[in-house]
Amino acid sequence: MTATVPAPTDVVETDQMVQTIERLRSTVESGRTRSLDWREAQLDGIIRFTTDFTDELLEAMETDLGRPGLEGWIADIGSSINEAEYIKKKFRKWAAPRKAKLNVALQPASARIMPEPLGVALIIAPWNYPVNLVLEPMAAAFAAGNAIVLKPSEISPATAAVIAQNLPDYLDPDAFAVFEGGPEVSTALLAEKWDHIFFTGSTKVGQIVMEAAAKNLTPVTLELGGKSPVIVGDDADLDVTAQRIAWGKSFNAGQTCIAPDYVLVTE
């Protein structure tokens, strides 16, 4: 199967965007996403989608990134399935109420921590891991009982198309939506009110995201790039060290936020 790359567009249907967000928010407010069975169904949907569309996703990533299939499976497919399965195994425990300690001055009171869904989360995904950094934050957000709006990267359009055209079929349509497009779409999305924003990308754009979020005191998760050191100690096995540095720097053509950039050694 050949992935279809949609034509780029500068048109932002803000009315449709607002209506979609309101629909998702109504779903959360109805209490539907509080159900642990509902959350598990969304996790199952992510796993089934990734499994069913492995070949299409690998081909799309090769189109977008020139990445060979094995590396694509390691970097994006296998890791996404493993993460969703791990969350599925653990999320009921994470969602359960638990006792909290109180200061002695508040005795004989007792307290419990009651995990609650935040609401509607916005996920803005990058191009370098165009499946993994879509599905892993989605799995976490669904496990916490949130609805999701996804903005995949326009720089990996073939992969974004496979996701946008097929992933919604595996999820609750009243709790998930995808908006494709470039920076103009991200800008329009950031102008709306969210309950959490998850962004992966550059520090420069991360600052823009945080500034937009601050207007509504929206909590953010920012996974940003930077310059990552490798520390080599006196007792390091230099052959093993060199192999690991080379692997870390060359994997995914070095396009990883924690790929080594420089080495620190003792004098």
**62-110: pLDDT as tens digits:** 999 999 999 999 999 999 999 999 999 999 999 999 999 999 898 899 9
223 is catalytic: yes
Quick one: what percent of the chain has pLDDT higher than 70?
96
Pairwise CA distance, residues 177 & 174, whole Å:
8
* CATH class of domain segment(s) 15-93+114-225: alpha beta
Quick one: what percent of the chain has pLDDT higher than 90?
88
22 is catalytic: no
Quote the crossing angle between the two packed helices 54-65 and 36-52, to the nearest 10°.
60
DSSP per-residue letters across the chain: -PPPPPPP-----HHHHHHHHHHHHHHHHTTGGG-HHHHHHHHHHHHHHHHHTHHHHHHHHHHHH---HHHHIIIIIHHHHHHHHHHHHHHHHHHS-EEE---GGGTT--EEE------EEEEE--SSSTTHHHHHHHHHHHHTT-EEEEE--TTSHHHHHHHHHHGGGGS-TTSEEE---SHHHHHHHHTS--SEEEEEE-HHHHHHHHHHHHTTT--EEEEE---EEEEE-TT--HHHHHHHHHHHHHGGGG-STT-EEEEEE--
Tell me the pTM. 0.91
pLDDT for 6: 41
Q: Which of 56, 180, 223, 267 is catalytic?
A: 223
> What is the distance of C-alpha 251 from the center of its chain?
20
pLDDT for 12: 67
Q: Which of 29, 71, 257, 267 is catalytic?
A: 257
pLDDT at residue 7 is higher than 70: no
As a dihedral over the C-alpha atoms of residue 210, residue 143, residue 137, residue 59, rounded to 10 degrees, the angle is -150
List pLDDT tens digits, range 149-182: 999 999 999 999 999 999 999 999 999 999 999 9
* 8 Å CB contact between 84 and 138: no
Closest CA to 219 of 202, 201, 189, 198: 198
Closest CA to 153 of 126, 135, 185, 183: 126
User: Residue ranges per domain, the chain?
Assistant: 15-93+114-225, 227-267
